[in-house]
């Protein structure tokens, strides 16, 4: 299984190397596509070829990232550029693609959660309008009308108005003037929308065109004048100028030069106010001919000279320059100046030759541009296919990878399950161990408490023996004093026995009182000395209680008690280092060997209860707290008769213990 997974991953990686160029988009791909679309919009009129290149790049990113909204925008813009450049079949093809994609989005919105819509989203109505216009310009009027007359395609009032305008235009192109006028009349009578002066001007000018196509000049002129009133109200200079041109053409056909001159002069003044040189030149040459026809020769000559000057400084107006030369030739001919007239006719002829050459070049360029557009369209179509093929390849590989990933995921689940199970087992074992540790610690503390409790009856038993000896010799006063001190000692021992640690000051107080009692009993047997290092803070250092007392008791009862002469006991507590204190108990008694010889058979078989309990307590303290208390017992004077004994106890300082007295 592992080998199969590894091989599939290797194959997928190799394929991905070849497909990577078509899959090189990231989370910012949408923004990059948006950049190309916006750039294409900016230059679609001035540089349509470059605009198509931008849209081609945007499409790659949109298709690969499944950004359908922006694909719609790309195809709609391509269709619009095709319409501008009279590539009507391509316009139909691309606009249809835009519409199909838009419909797919609408379907997904009904079925699934509504996707996020781009701020530049194109409505379905706008696409239908462009498609209908493409059919209309491609001489497919019936298809255009079929779209435009479907009220469900258009939602906003603007879209409905634009559709009605285009319907009227289609009827006009079919020479169905009755239906065209009926449609325009319907638009004029609309009461459910606020028709602007600008819209009214356009509608009236369109009605005028219908009448003009029917050679009904008076009606055409009537509606053009209405259109001009609306245009003046809208204050749209360009619209006023366009309607003036239409009025001029109508007046010209009726030979109404006087009225036409007024209109042309208005347009000339508009061009001057807008500083529109190109428009000024065109208006000036038209006005110059009108001046000629109305015998205003001086005005005609002035305008013709201006036109020639402007045209010569700007080679884009060669046609206008030629017309100006012709106007001057006619002017001089009418004035009888034939030599000058012939000169200007020659200028006119030469300029016409240049114009024809430029027209040929322009046509050649136009044909080249058309070929380039066709090539661009093929590239876009091929690119779309390539991207879709590679997308399907990626999807197929993704499916294979998904299967691998699912298998790996299942394996991971099993591994994680086993790991989790192992962790649970380890955790359970740890908890059981910790619980056992806690129980063991509790048992040890209980045992420690039990051993401390056992020290009390042992000590009491030995002390009562001393009281009994005083009573037996009828020494009542000594017995009373002993009992008073003994009671005090018992109270202290009892109070401290509940604690695992007590202050060194409390322990030394108990030991001092105990020594005084034993010395009182064995007055003639020994003297003692108790020395404590001044460096030790007895109220701060804590030690386990009743660790030292059994060894002092042994020194008195088994060493000094049997000595022939008076003995000496020395207890010295001093500081070894910051963490350790040392207690030495030194006596010059008979020593361990003689003491053992004096014991009875029964005494030999039983180890001292106090010492045995002390050893057990030390072992438990080591297990519970990890601190070792060491005890070393040796002969004090091995070469002498009374060897004596030295007990060395090294105790770690149990600083700041919470459970001390």
What DSSP string runs through 59-109?
A: HHHHHHTT-HHHHHHHHHHHHHHHHHTT-HHHHHHHHHHHHHHHHHHHHHH
Cα 130 to Cα 136: distance, rounded to the nearest angstrom = 10
Q: Give the orientation angle of helix 177-188 with respect to helix 197-213, to 10 degrees.
A: 160
What are the helix (H) ranges across 497-548?
504-521
- Answer for the pair 482, 521: CB distance below 8 angstroms, yes or no: yes
The per-residue pLDDT for 370 is 62
pLDDT band at 274 (very low <50, low <70, confident <90, very high): confident
Is the per-residue pLDDT at 389 higher than 70? Answer: no
Mean pLDDT for 584-602 is 82
Which runs of consecutive H residues, i.e. helices, occur in 473-546?
Answer: 476-496, 504-521
Position with higher pLDDT, 403 vs 561: 561
Q: What are the residues facing 501 on neighbouring strands? A: 660
Residue 405 has pLDDT above 70, yes or no: yes
User: Do residues 617 and 448 touch, judged by C-beta distance below 8 A?
Assistant: yes
pLDDT at position 410, please?
85
Residue 442 has pLDDT above 70, yes or no: no
CA distance 524 to 567: 9
Whether residue 149 contacts residue 161, with contact meaning beta carbons closer than 8 Å, is answered with no
Q: What is the percentage of the chain residues whose pLDDT exceeds 90?
A: 13
Structure-block tokens of residue 172: 């006009």
**Phi, psi at residue 304, to the nearest 5°?**
-65, -40
Mean of the per-residue pLDDT values for the chain?
A: 78
pLDDT on residue 127: 92
Rounded to 5 degrees, φ, ψ at 309 are -60, -50
The residues, ordered by sequence, that sit 6+ positions from 99 with a Cβ below 8 Å of its Cβ are 124, 127, 128, 131
Distance, CA of 280 to CA of 298 (rounded, Å): 19
Cα(383)–Cα(52) distance, integer angstroms:
13
Residue 165 has pLDDT above 80, yes or no: yes
SS3 at position 574: strand
Among 127-131, 180-184, 268-272, the least confident range: 268-272
Average pLDDT over residues 423-448: 71
Q: What is the pLDDT of residue 25?
A: 39
Domain spans in the chain, listed from the N-terminal domain onward = 475-652
**What CA–CA distance (Å, rounded) separates 271 from 293?**
23
The 10 Å CB-count burial string (b at 16+, else e) for 454-468 is bbeebbeeebeebbe
Alpha-carbon gap, residue 131 to 139, rounded angstroms: 13
Residue 115 has pLDDT above 70, yes or no: no
User: What CA–CA distance (Å, rounded) separates 278 from 492?
Assistant: 123
Kindly tell me if the per-residue pLDDT of 478 is higher than 80.
no
pLDDT digits (tens, 9 = 90+) for 233-260: 877 777 877 887 888 787 877 778 778 7
Contact 78, 94 (CB under 8 A): yes
Nearest to 36 by CA among 78, 85, 98: 78
Assign 23 a pLDDT band (cuts: 50, 70, 90). Answer: very low
| Count of Cβ atoms closer than 10 Å to residue 201 Cβ | 25
Residues 198-233: tens digit of each pLDDT? 788 888 888 888 988 888 888 888 888 888 788 778
Number of residues in the chain? 661
Residue 210, number of CB atoms within 10 A of its CB: 23
Give 643-654 pLDDT, tens digit per residue: 999 999 999 876
DSSP 123: P
Contacts of 79 (CB under 8 A, 6+ apart): 90, 91, 92, 93, 94, 95, 98, 130, 131, 134
**Which H or E element spans position 631?**
strand 630-635
Is the domain 475-652 a CATH 3.30.565.10 member? yes
């Amino acid at each position: 299984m592992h080998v199969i997974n590894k091989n599939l991953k290797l194959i997928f990686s190799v394929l991905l190397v070849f497909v990577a160029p078509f899959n090189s988009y990231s989370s910012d791909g949408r923004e990059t596509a948006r950049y190309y679309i916006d750039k294409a919009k900016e230059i679609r009129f001035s540089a349509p070829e470059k605009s198509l290149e931008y849209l081609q790049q945007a499409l790659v990113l949109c298709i690969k990232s499944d950004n359908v909204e922006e694909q719609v925008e790309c195809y709609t813009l391509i269709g619009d550029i095709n319409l501008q450049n009279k590539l009507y079949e391509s316009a139909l093809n691309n606009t249809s693609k835009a519409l199909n994609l838009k419909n797919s989005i609408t379907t997904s919105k009904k079925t699934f959660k509504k996707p996020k819509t781009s701020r530049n989203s194109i409505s379905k109505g706008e696409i239908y309008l462009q498609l209908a216009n493409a059919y209309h310009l491609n001489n497919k009027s019936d298809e255009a009308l079929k779209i435009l007359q479907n009220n469900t395609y258009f939602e906003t009032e603007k879209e409905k108005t634009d559709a009605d305008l285009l319907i009227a235009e289609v009827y006009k192109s079919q020479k169905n003037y009755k239906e065209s006028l009926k449609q325009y009349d319907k638009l004029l009578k609309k009461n459910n929308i606020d028709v602007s002066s600008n819209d009214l001007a356009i509608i009236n000018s369109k009605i005028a065109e219908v009448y003009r196509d029917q050679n009904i000049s008076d009606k055409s002129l009537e509606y053009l004048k209405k259109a001009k009133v609306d245009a003046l109200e809208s204050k749209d200079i360009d619209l006023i100028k366009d309607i003036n041109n239409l009025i001029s053409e109508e007046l010209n056909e009726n030979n109404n030069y006087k009225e036409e001159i007024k209109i042309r002069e208005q347009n000339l003044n508009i061009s001057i106010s807008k500083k529109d040189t190109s428009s000024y030149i065109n208006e000036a040459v038209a006005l110059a001919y009108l001046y000629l026809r109305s015998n205003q020769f001086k005005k005609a000559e002035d305008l013709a000279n201006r036109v020639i000057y402007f045209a010569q400084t700007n080679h884009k107006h060669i046609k206008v320059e030629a017309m100006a030369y012709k106007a001057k030739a006619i002017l001089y001919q009418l004035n009888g100046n034939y030599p000058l007239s012939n000169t200007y006719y020659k200028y006119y002829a030469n300029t016409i030759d240049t114009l024809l050459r430029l027209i040929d070049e322009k046509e050649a360029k136009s044909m080249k541009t058309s070929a380039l557009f066709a090539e661009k369209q093929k590239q876009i179509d091929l690119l779309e296919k390539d991207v879709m093929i590679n997308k399907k390849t990626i999807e197929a590989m993704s499916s294979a990878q998904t299967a691998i990933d699912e298998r790996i995921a299942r394996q991971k689940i099993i591994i994680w399950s086993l790991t989790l199970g192992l962790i649970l087992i380890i955790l359970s074992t740890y908890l059981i161990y910790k619980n056992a540790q806690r129980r063991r610690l509790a048992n040890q503390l209980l045992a420690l408490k039990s051993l401390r409790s056992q020290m009390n009856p042992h000590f009491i038993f030995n002390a009562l023996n001393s009281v009994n000896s005083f009573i037996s010799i009828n020494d009542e006063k000594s017995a009373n004093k002993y009992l008073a001190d003994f009671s005090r000692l018992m109270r202290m021992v009892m109070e401290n026995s509940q604690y695992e640690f007590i202050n060194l000051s409390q322990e030394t107080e108990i030991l001092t009182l105990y020594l005084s009692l034993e010395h009182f009993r064995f007055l003639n047997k020994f003297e003692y000395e108790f020395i404590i290092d001044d460096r030790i803070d007895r109220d701060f250092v804590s030690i386990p209680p009743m660790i030292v007392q059994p060894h002092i008791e042994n020194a008195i009862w088994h060493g000094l008690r049997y000595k022939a002469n008076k003995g000496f006991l020395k207890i010295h507590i001093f500081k070894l280092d910051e963490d350790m204190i040392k207690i030495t108990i030194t006596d010059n008694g008979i020593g361990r060997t003689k003491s053992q010889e004096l014991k009875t058979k029964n005494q030999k078989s039983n180890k001292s209860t106090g010492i045995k309990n002390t050893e057990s307590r030390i072992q438990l303290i080591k297990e519970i707290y990890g601190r070792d208390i060491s005890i070393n017992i040796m002969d004090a004077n091995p070469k002498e008769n009374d060897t004596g004994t030295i007990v060395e106890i090294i105790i770690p300082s149990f600083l700041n213990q919470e459970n001390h007295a």
